[in-house]
Amino acid sequence: MRTYKELINKHNEETAFVLGAGTSLYDIYQDLYFESIFKDVVISVNSSIMVTSWDSSDNDKRYWISNDSLCRRWSWWKDVKKAQCTKVVRDSWLKYKDELKDFLFFSPRPTSEDIVNPDDEGLCYCCSVASGIDLAIQMGCSKIFVFGLDHDAPSGYHHFWQLFDKCYQPRQMKPAQGPWTQQKSVFPIHLKSYNALLKFAELRGVKIYNCSPLSKVKVFEKINSDWMWGIINENK
């Protein structure tokens, strides 16, 4: 099986966008300039594949990544399968390898969640957003903008697609996601990975921005969309 390591240093000094699935992604998705991000490297995480348009016109800057094989139980899984992008999943998915044609695989980092050894081969695990950020760093991206990283459930909504009209919301074909209390219980582990990634990024001279100003994740510098577009455009 092919591994993610063929992607290392593929996008040196480029800008990357990592799309998480928190509610703040909905606001950015409505932004007039949202489509412009697809000129750069975009790493879609889990259900955020729903806000991409990757059915055709393949290019080498599109990625989808996940740790969670229960993705296969969601109605949006069909969007992943038909998407024209590079798909990267954790090696725990290998039991399904017969249906994962051309997918790349990664192993969890051998170090713990709160330490990133730059000599390790593997990606941060448990949280797919962390895996996506780690991938962007290893691909050589110099600026990483993270969308939908909230760790919050304003008005009871915890995923961006819950703000869609009911007819556009995804369905679970089989049980695929625990209640919000269960999801929150692993956030402390996620935060360890984010802290480790911040140190890894600083070592590589990489800047990470959390584009959700109200996010409960305070590890990365938080900016709003206007500030984000300014940072992007100043170097173009």
At which residue do the structure tokens 């996008």 appear?
11
Residues whose CB is less than 8 angstroms from the CB of residue 171 and which lie 6 or more positions away in sequence, other chains included: 74, 75
Residue 67 pLDDT class (50, 70, 90 cuts): very high
Residue 118 CA from chain centroid, whole number: 20
The pLDDT of residue 78 is above 80:
yes
pLDDT score of 132: 98
Report all structural domains of the chain as residue ranges with CATH numbers, in order of start.
4-233 (3.90.1480)
Q: Which of the 8 DSSP states describes residue 27?
A: H
> What's the token pair of residue 180?
């919000």
Query: In this predicted model, what pLDDT tens digit does every residue of 144-193 receive, in sequence order?
Result: 999 999 999 999 999 999 999 999 999 999 888 888 888 889 999 999 99
Whether 236 shows a pLDDT value over 60: the answer reads no
Helix or strand holding residue 16 (H, E): strand 15-19
Residue ranges of the alpha helices (H) in 91-217?
Answer: 128-138, 180-184, 187-204
The model's pLDDT over 202-225, given as tens digits with 9 standing for 90+, comes to 999 999 999 999 999 999 999 988
Q: At 235, is the pLDDT very low, low, confident or very high (cuts 50, 70, 90)?
A: low
- Spatial separation of the C-alpha atoms in residues 89 and 66, rounded to whole Å: 5
**pTM for this model (two decimals):** 0.96
Token pair 């259900």: residue:
47
pLDDT at 232 over 80: no
pLDDT in tens, 84-138: 999 999 999 999 999 898 999 999 998 877 889 988 889 998 899 999 999 999 9
Count how many Cα atoms sit within 13 Å of the Cα of residue 200 in the half-sphere of its side chain.
29
For residues 224 and 221, what is the distance between their CA atoms, to the nearest angstrom? 10
Half-sphere exposure of 83 (CA within 13 A, CB side): 30
- The residue assigned the tokens 């000094």 is 13
Confidence of residue 31 (pLDDT cuts 50, 70, 90): confident
